[in-house]
Every structure is written in C-alpha cells, then in structure tokens.
Amino acid sequence: MSRTPGVDGASGSSSAPSRHEPAFPNTTHVARREYGELVRSRLFHVSTVTLAVLAIVVALLPIAVRYLERGSTTRIAVVASNVKLANDTRGILSQILNSQGGTTYTVTVEPSEDEAIAAVDDHRLDAVVTARRADNGSLGFVVHGGETVGDGTIQLLNFGGLSVALLDFSTRNPISGFQVPTFDVFRGAGGGGAGAAPYDPSAYASRLIVGAVFGVLIFITIVIYGMWVAAGVVAEKSSRVMELLVSAASPRQLVIGKALGIGLAGATQYVLVLVPAILTLLVESQIATALLGPSAGIAPSLKALSPALLLAFGVYYTLGFALYSLIYAAAGSLVSRPEDLQIIALPLSLIAIVGYIQAILALTGGITGFIRFASLVPFWSPFVMLTRLSVGRVEPMEIVVSISLLLVTILVTAVVAIRIYAAGVLLYGQRPGLRAYIAAARHG
C-alpha cells in the first residue's frame, strides 16, 4: 500500500499539503445559494413588509405628533432692555401667534435672559425672544428655541419682530428713517455663545428625522441579518448539510459567500423598504397640509437627504454588516441546536444595542466627548457616526479614522472568525464556552 504523501511513518502524524482556496467560483456559488434561499423565504417577505411599515411610520411621526398636540400650549418668554419694548413685543407676538388657530401661545415677560434660556433648556419654556435696541435706534431680535418650536412658529416670530419694529418706528418717528430689524435664531444654551449655534429650523428637523430613520434601519437590519447568518450555520449543522459543504468548499469560502449572499439580500430589502419611505417623505408636506392646515410648518425631511449622507449610509451599512456577519457566523458554528443559539446571540446583540443607544443619545442629547469617542469605536461607529453625520458637523479626519479602524477590525475579525468557523462547523453536541472560543481562535 502506498503511503499518503507527507505522512511520517514513525510517528503517524501527517502534514497534509495546504488546500488551494481560490475565492471564486465557490464563494459565488455559496453567495447565490444563500441569496436565493433567503429572498424566497417567508421570513424575508414578512420582515420586509414590517420594516417598510416601520419606515413609513417614522417618516410620518412628525405629522402624527403635531396632530396629537393640537390645542396644546406653547410658552414663549420675552426679554427686553426696557419695560415698554418688552410689553409692546409681548402684545404683538401674542396677537399674531394666537390668530392662527390650533396651538395656543402664552407669551410672558421675563426679567433675566439667562434665566429664561435656562428655562428653555429645562423644558419649562419653549422659546425666548430677546429684543434689543442698537445705538443707532434700530431693533434686533434673538430667538432661543427649544425642541418643540417648529418652522411655522419661527416664521410667525419673525413677522412679529417686524411688526414690533414698525410700531416702534411710528411711535418714535426717528429722523434716520425705518430700519429693518435683525432676526437671529439659536438652538441651545449659552446666550448665543459657544453653547448655542444659529440653525435653520427646517433643516434641523429634517436631519433629526433622517437620522432617526437611518439609525433604526441600520440597527435592526444588522442585528437581523447577523442572526440570519448564525441561524443558517446552525440549521446546516443540525441537518448535517455542513459535512457536505466543507468537503466542497473551504471555511473561508463558506464564510465569505454566506456573508456576501445575505448582505446582498439585505441590500435588496433596503431598497424595498426605503422606496415607500422616500415616496412618503416626498408627499409629507401635502399630508401635513391636509391634516393640520396650511400653517402646519412641517419641514420637508428630504431636505437633509444629501448624496453624501446616502453614501455614508451605504458605506457604514456595508462595513457594519461585514463586521457583525463574520462574528455571528463564527458564533453560529459553535452550536449544534437552534435553541443553543440564544446563548451566544444575546451578548452579541448587546454590543450592537450599546452602540444604538449611544446613537439615540447623539440624536437627542447633543454631541458629547464620549459620543465622539464612541463614533470611532469599530463595533459602534456604524450606528453613532451615521447619526453624527445626520444631525451635526463631523470633521473629515474623524470619518477617515472611523472607517480605517473599522476596516482594520474587519480584517482581524475575518481571520479569527474563519478560524473559529473552521474548528466549530464539525463540533456536534457540545455547548459553547469561553475556552472553545479562545482555542478555536488561536489554533483554528
């Protein structure tokens, strides 16, 4: 009997020649198989419809909130350099704001601008209007608005400031003639200093909506698709199909092909989900006008949907899915029964949940130092950095560092995940443990 090449007759140990593993065509076959099975499955159809409905609901959420808040009271404070200017401003603003119907406006005079702005930050007031007179006698108005002050209210306050200036001109009749008052809008604290920034209310509302839609979609789909990868591996192991697969393709080809096929299925689902959502946003203004009237003041959300933001969404979705799909594939290879998958799925989902929570904080609570740090952490950056790009200003170098760290992490994770996958796909009847992870990652 001839010996197998590479077998040491004395020790019985073998060093088989390395297996040639070209990326194609096996990877393509695996990807095509995964894609076809997934897009034809009932789970894909149900989840696509569910996500599409969720995206439409989020797109219509501003209109629903305004509809439910009809008849509510908006509290606005007036601060001025003298009593007469304060009372004139309060009277004119109250008359103009309450002439529109719907929301009731309560306009009061406050003595301290700093205290009034602090009340806006604490949600005890909705906005502060500060009236100032320059040395040349002209008037200027500064609005510090809270989250509840929309575009329609800002426009009414602007018109009210002009009306106050006209009344002031007719009363004082200065020789210099009428001068158009200045009108500035700030969102934030600090009296227009470092903590406050001029903003376009329409654009700000649009960015919040787009950031919320993108944040929800990227979190749900990455977690769902990652679980699909893990569940597919477990199903193949439980039916012993894996034994046939590993004889026809290498672990590297299986992992990459599975991630690629399910990723393409995810991209297909994204298109099916985003198309109805974008169509809804296109008619958002018409829906708001029909339900709330012409003074609804709903900002068109597509105003913030720039090509650069769409590109960033595509990049972070692709990289985020690549990272998490590799992790889920490796984790799924270590269990043999579907019920054991939850043992591994929960801690992996918690990693994504932490990133999603920080993205929500960035969306609603401002950009802090920790949020900036979190947007650079590879396991969180697909969620947090995308939110930062939606609602605020991000330095180009931060984006470069974030993507670079994400790419390096994906490469390192791919090496470790393929080793774990190669060692775990033929493990049957064994519950996963920390030692199994470490041993597989080190020795493959």
- What CATH number should be reported for the domain holding residue 101? 3.40.190
Q: Does the pLDDT of residue 359 top 50, yes or no?
A: yes
Residues 124-133, mean pLDDT to the nearest whole number: 88
How many domains does one find in the chain?
2
- Write down which residue in 183, 199, 215 finishes a domain: 199
Residue 145: strand pairing partners: 127, 187
C-alpha–C-alpha distance, residues 147 and 145, integer Å = 7
Mean pLDDT of the region 140-168: 81
Q: How many helices (H) and strands (E) does the chain have?
A: 15, 6
Task: Return the C-alpha torsion angle 310, 312, 315, 319, nearest 10.
Answer: -130
Average of per-residue pLDDT values in the chain: 76
Do residues 187 and 322 both lie within one domain? no
Per-residue confidence band for 410, with pLDDT thresholds at 50, 70 and 90: very high
**Residue 404 contacts by C-beta under 8 Å, 6 or more apart in sequence?**
none
Q: E-assigned strands of 267-354?
A: none
| Complete edge-to-edge strand list for the sheet that includes strand 73-80 | 104-109, 73-80, 127-133, 139-145, 182-188, 196-198
**Which stretch, 3-7, 119-123, 285-289, 439-443, has highest mean pLDDT?**
119-123
| 155, 172, 199 - which closes a domain | 199
- Examine the domain organization and report whether 152 and 95 are in the same domain: yes
Split at pLDDT 50, 70, 90, the class of 421 is: confident
Evaluate whether 261 touches 30 at the Cβ level (below 8 Å): yes
In a domain? residue 20 = no
Give me the mean pLDDT over the 92-106 stretch. 80
pLDDT attached to residue 251 = 75
Least confident of 3-17, 195-209, 426-440: 3-17
The answer on 330 and 395 residing in a single domain is yes
The whole-angstrom separation of Cα 189 and Cα 196 is 5
Which among 199, 220, 242 is the end of a domain? 199
- Expressed as residue numbers, the domain containing 188 is 69-199
Q: Which of 136-140, 373-377, 379-383 has the lowest mean pLDDT?
A: 136-140
- Rounded to whole angstroms, the Cα distance separating 110 from 181 reads 21
Confidence of residue 56 (pLDDT cuts 50, 70, 90): confident
Question: Which of 192-196, 208-212, 230-234, 260-264 shows the lowest mean pLDDT across its residues?
Answer: 192-196
- 273 and 364 both lie in a single domain: yes
Q: Is 15 exposed, middle or buried (0-12, 13-18, 19+ CB in 10 A)?
A: exposed
CA 31 – CA 235 distance, rounded (Å):
16
